[in-house]
Structure 1
Amino acid sequence: MADCGSEEVAVIGNTDITDEESQDNKNNMMAEGSCLLRKMEISVAEAEKRTGKNAVNMQETYTVYLIETRLQGLAPDVQDPPLQPADSVTEGHNPVPDSLWRRYSEFELLRNYLLVTYPFIVIPPLPEKRAEFVWHKLSADNMDPDFVERRRIGLENFLLRVASHPVLSSDKIFFLFLTEENGWKEAVFETGFLAKSDSRLKALNATFRVKNPDKRFSELKHYSDELQSVTSQLLRVRARVADRLYGVYKVHGNYGRVFSEWSAIEKEMGDGLQSAGHHMDAYAASVDDILEEEEHYADQLKEYLFYAEAVKAVCRKHELLQYELETASQDLASKKQQQEELAAGTVRTFSFKGMTSKLFGQETPEQREAKLKVLEEQIKEGEVTVTEKTLECEEFVKNAWKDIERFKEQKDHDLREALMSYAVMQISMCKKGIQVWTNAKECFSKM
């Protein structure tokens, strides 16, 4: 990567970087540890519009994306020994297709599977399905070629993010997504992730019931809300600036028209005015390339707008685990209290059973003994449940916080690089404006 003093800074997702800088991006990703990118080159090479019939037999137009892969050595170790799709892969031999087409909905299915399977990981987001924060000259149509191209870049970035992750890169379903033309969906559904995803819905309301929330996760959730707020505000400001900048540049084309008309009535000044008009026309036309490049930086900011939601998903999962632990602990405490009251023959808290005993007499010793045995078994089961929930919560916190720290480093690096690159682009744009007026000045001086 370029240092702070360089005028060119490579950022993942920028189509204008050199091949060398692009390789630097992938090297930075691979530096995180043993990952799929060390063994396989991955790219989303192109997009193609197709027409077909959907699930309800209606005609539809959709876009598919070509994923190209090339193994560089041994395929990655896969976590689940019974299903290792890459075991037969040896160096220099690739028994699986090196290219295949995927729809956006298939990327969505993959990400939903990763969300459910790895709840403690900040799962990389997909690019937007429909354009947001657009300015008036930018099409919001999801079939627009420019939008499809930016989404292609975003989908490639998603795959590189997953393939560079120390945990996600070893997932067997992800490997199948990259290498199996057919059958990978069946493998996804066989994991039973859909049934697991239903339980995740509880997490949406868990936060309102957790009595002792973890301060770190509460602060992280608040930070994610703020990150979403500031990035969305920044994107709105950028869209407004782009709108006005487009107008200012295009108005410069009027200079070109006026200078050209003026040159027609001047003999000695004509050539100078005509030349200055050409510079103004070129200046007015240059805004299209400038704003197209800006869109790539906007997409990088959008990635972290969506990343914020992924961070909140981890926080919600922790809230759910915390709620389940608190519920199990309360249930165990209630059972122990019932055991003490039953053993002592007293009821310190109001209950329907207590009122029944007062009205119809005390239970027999045999009945009490039977209930005590049932409570004793329930207490043993409750203690096991509390222990399991405690260990599950502790393990989740350990793994989640490790991944969150990794994400923070990635975020700080990426946003710093993106903002620096945006500043460099603005400086370059201003220099071009100065050069245009310098050229115009020379034209005027020769009249």
Structure 2
Amino acid sequence: MMTSENDIEDIEEICDKKQSESAVLEVSSTATGGNIKQENPEVDFLSSYSTSMEGSVVASPSVDSFSTLPDQEMSDFQLDSRDLQVKVDNPQKHVETLETYITFCITTKSTRPEYNEGEYVVRRRYNDFIWLRQKLVETYPTHIIPPMPGKHSLLAQLDRYSKEFIIARMKLLHVFLNRIVNHPILSCDKSLHIFLTCKPAEFSVHRKNRGNVLVKVTDSLPNITSVYSMKLRNLEFEQIREYCFSLSEKLATMDKISHRIYKERQDYLMELHQLHPIFTLWATTEPELAPILLAMAKAIETNAHAHQKLLDSVPCEEKEYVAYIESVKDALNRRDTMQVEYEMTVDDLAKRRLEKDQLANTTTTPQQSQGWGGSIWKSETRDEKLEKLGQVIPRLVNGVEVLQDRMECANENLHSDLDRWNVEKRTDLKNMLITMADQQISHYQQCMTAWEDILAGFKLDGVVSEGSAVKILP
């Protein structure tokens, strides 16, 4: 298909327009979705464009517009020795007639036999990740399914295509997918294989063929616990539930305090921006004090840059880990729902057996119903009730055995996942706190260095600095 010069000019106008918007994101030169093979970029004059399966045009600046995953994570991906590795990066913005959305590049490397091509590159949007998680919850209700990063709030809706928001979401999706891949059971799921390998058209078919009836039944099961309380609660699981509530409250408190400090630092940053021009203008009116005033202005500017860097790098790991804890509690609730269903079936079986024993111990008495000209409604006889109970009770016995086996499997699955989660939790919380401490130390070191640099050159009207201490000369 030949492309005219007018078409190229129209595309360039679209590109220039999109580049002027803050919502433009990086795009790769390869086609979206499917198993992508690297091609020579020189032969593609539309290297900064891509087309989704819906035919939407994606405009983007150069590939070096901003980095995706940090270099450290990229190198870790190259040196990873796992038999299944995934990486989420390179966001793209898709503009269509009815909607605008972001897709992310998912690179998969595996030595497992089911991944026969070894390496796959596909593009998925946020709703596709939601589909994957829902399928995992449906298939493995007693396993801890990692949480998805939350949707944008209503107040932040206009900013959901900003660079900072997209990068933050991309990193959380990377964490989400790697938690699934690191799980010994979830990593072997068929839905995950479809998510990581299928081309757009094939993946769309799988998404449309989801079991809606099963979803409705699964969603209705937790309502049982609201009208029926468990008789025998598992003490170990109850202790874990209480610990989760306590940990959630502590992390939520940390997040609340962090937001308050964040707002205070924003106000302080505005004051620094207001203070910098004051010293600069003052230096123009006081030539003798100009070197000192300009040095003060430079130190203030350095402090402002350090504060801006700290504000831009404020992590949201506390809130993200609260969501992870909620996933643990959801798994506990689904396990409780299974126990409630088991106990209800046991109670029903006991009720039916008692009814059968009572009928067996009673003698038959003829019952006559009066009506117009005789009997209208015929009630069940004793023998009919016994025959019906003889059919119901074996089915209930079989149901109790099945539910008991399911309960035992659920307990084993949850025990295994909780053991893994406890190990991951210690590592995650440790890394989160160390990262927070390192950021604060680096910030205050930059601020302190800026002030020490000007103190070292202070010598005015008998004031001289020795190291970081200032002394008044006699």
Task: Give the TM-score range, shorter chain.
Answer: 0.7 to 0.9
Report the counterpart of residue 45 of structure 1 in structure 2.
Answer: 89
Cα deviation per residue 1:250-287 (whole Å; 9 max; x = unaligned)?
Answer: 32344432332332233443223212211211211222
Report the counterpart of residue 107 of structure 2 in structure 1.
Answer: 68
Q: Does 207-216 or 176-185 show the bigger shift?
A: 207-216
Work out the number of aligned pairs and report it.
383
* TM-score, scaled relative to structure 1: 0.77
Cα deviation per residue 1:124-182 (whole Å; 9 max; x = unaligned)?
Answer: 111122159x9xxx987212221011111111111111111111111122122111123
Q: What CA distance in whole angstroms lies between the structure 2 residues aligned with 1:211 and 1:128? A: 32
Does residue 153 of structure 1 match 2:158? no
Report the counterpart of residue 187 of structure 1 in structure 2.
Answer: 206
Cα deviation per residue 1:417-442 (whole Å; 9 max; x = unaligned)?
Answer: 10121012112211222112212212
Q: CA deviation at 1:226?
A: 3.7
CA contact (8 A) 1:173 1:188 kept: no
Name which of 133, 148, 152 aligns with 1:111. 133
Report the counterpart of residue 358 of structure 2 in structure 1.
Answer: 341
Does residue 387 of structure 1 match 2:404? no
Report the counterpart of residue 72 of structure 2 in structure 1.
Answer: 19
Cα deviation per residue 1:386-424 (whole Å; 9 max; x = unaligned)?
Answer: 111111111111111211221122122101210121012
Q: What CA distance in whole angstroms lies between the structure 2 residues aligned with 1:140 and 1:240? A: 23
CA contact (8 A) 1:65 1:103 kept: yes
Report the counterpart of residue 11 of structure 2 in structure 1.
Answer: none
Cα deviation per residue 1:354-403 (whole Å; 9 max; x = unaligned)?
Answer: 9x96999xxxxx95445434323322222111111111111111111211
Q: What CA distance in whole angstroms lies between the structure 2 residues aligned with 1:390 and 1:195? A: 24
Q: What CA distance in whole angstroms lies between the structure 2 residues aligned with 1:238 and 1:25? A: 35
Please give the residue correspondences for 1:404-419 in structure 2 after superposition, counting only pairs within 5 Å: 404-419=418-433
Cα deviation per residue 1:291-311 (whole Å; 9 max; x = unaligned)?
Answer: 1111xx22x222212112211
Q: What CA distance in whole angstroms lies between the structure 2 residues aligned with 1:66 and 1:338? A: 62
Q: What CA distance in whole angstroms lies between the structure 1 residues aligned with 2:454 and 2:359? A: 98
Partner letter of residue 210 of structure 1?
Answer: S
Name which of 422, 426, 432 aligns with 2:436. 422
Partner letter of residue 400 of structure 2?
Answer: V
CA contact (8 A) 2:87 2:106 kept: yes
Name which of 210, 221, 230 aligns with 1:203. 221
Name which of 289, 292, 299 aligns with 2:312. 292
CA contact (8 A) 2:69 2:171 kept: no
Q: What CA distance in whole angstroms lies between the structure 2 residues aligned with 1:419 and 1:140? A: 31
Cα root mean square deviation, aligned = 3.2
Q: CA deviation at 1:189?
A: 5.4
Does residue 256 of structure 1 match 2:276? yes
Q: CA deviation at 1:337?
A: 0.8
Report the counterpart of residue 6 of structure 1 in structure 2.
Answer: none
Report the counterpart of residue 150 of structure 2 in structure 1.
Answer: 128
Partner letter of residue 437 of structure 2?
Answer: A
Cα deviation per residue 1:59-118 (whole Å; 9 max; x = unaligned)?
Answer: 2211111222334xx225xxxxxxxx53xx1xxx54x7x322211111111111111111
Name which of 431, 444, 450 aligns with 1:436. 450
CA contact (8 A) 1:263 1:269 kept: yes
Q: CA deviation at 1:248?
A: 1.6
* TM-score, scaled relative to structure 2: 0.73
Report the counterpart of residue 290 of structure 2 in structure 1.
Answer: 270
Does residue 216 of structure 1 match 2:236? yes
Q: What CA distance in whole angstroms lies between the structure 2 residues aligned with 1:22 and 1:160? A: 16
Q: What CA distance in whole angstroms lies between the structure 2 residues aligned with 1:430 and 1:16? A: 26
> Which one has more relative contact order, counting CA pairs under 8 Å at least 6 apart?
1
Matched residue SS, 1:176:
helix
Cα deviation per residue 1:19-57 (whole Å; 9 max; x = unaligned)?
Answer: 279629996xxxxxxxxx72344222211111114xxxx
Matched residue SS, 2:123:
strand
Partner letter of residue 141 of structure 1?
Answer: D
Q: Which runs of 5+ in 1 are unaligned?
A: 1-13, 28-36, 54-58, 77-84, 348-353, 361-365
CA contact (8 A) 2:69 2:89 kept: no
Report the counterpart of residue 319 of structure 1 in structure 2.
Answer: 336
CA contact (8 A) 2:342 2:404 kept: yes
CA contact (8 A) 2:338 2:407 kept: yes
Percent identity over the alignment? Answer: 24
> Cα gap change, 1:102/1:405 in structure 2, threshold over 3 Å: closer, same or farther?
same
Cα deviation per residue 1:298-336 (whole Å; 9 max; x = unaligned)?
Answer: 2x2222121122112212211221111111111111111
Report the counterpart of residue 10 of structure 1 in structure 2.
Answer: none
CA contact (8 A) 1:122 1:311 kept: yes
Does residue 331 of structure 1 match 2:348? yes
Q: What CA distance in whole angstroms lies between the structure 1 residues aligned with 2:393 and 2:245? A: 41
> Cα gap change, 1:358/1:328 in structure 2, threshold over 3 Å: closer, same or farther?
farther
Report the counterpart of residue 282 of structure 1 in structure 2.
Answer: 302
Q: Which runs of 5+ in 2 are unaligned?
A: 1-66, 371-379, 462-474
> Cα gap change, 1:430/1:25 in structure 2, threshold over 3 Å: closer, same or farther?
farther
Q: What CA distance in whole angstroms lies between the structure 2 residues aligned with 1:178 and 1:49? A: 20
> Cα gap change, 1:426/1:441 in structure 2, threshold over 3 Å: closer, same or farther?
same
Partner letter of residue 93 of structure 2?
Answer: K
Structure whose CA Rg is larger: 2
> Cα gap change, 1:402/1:70 in structure 2, threshold over 3 Å: closer, same or farther?
closer
CA contact (8 A) 2:307 2:443 kept: no
Please give the residue correspondences for 1:337-376 in structure 2 after superposition, counting only pairs within 5 Å: 337-345=354-362, 368-376=382-390
Q: What CA distance in whole angstroms lies between the structure 1 residues aligned with 2:386 and 2:157? A: 71
Q: What CA distance in whole angstroms lies between the structure 2 residues aligned with 1:139 and 1:275? A: 42
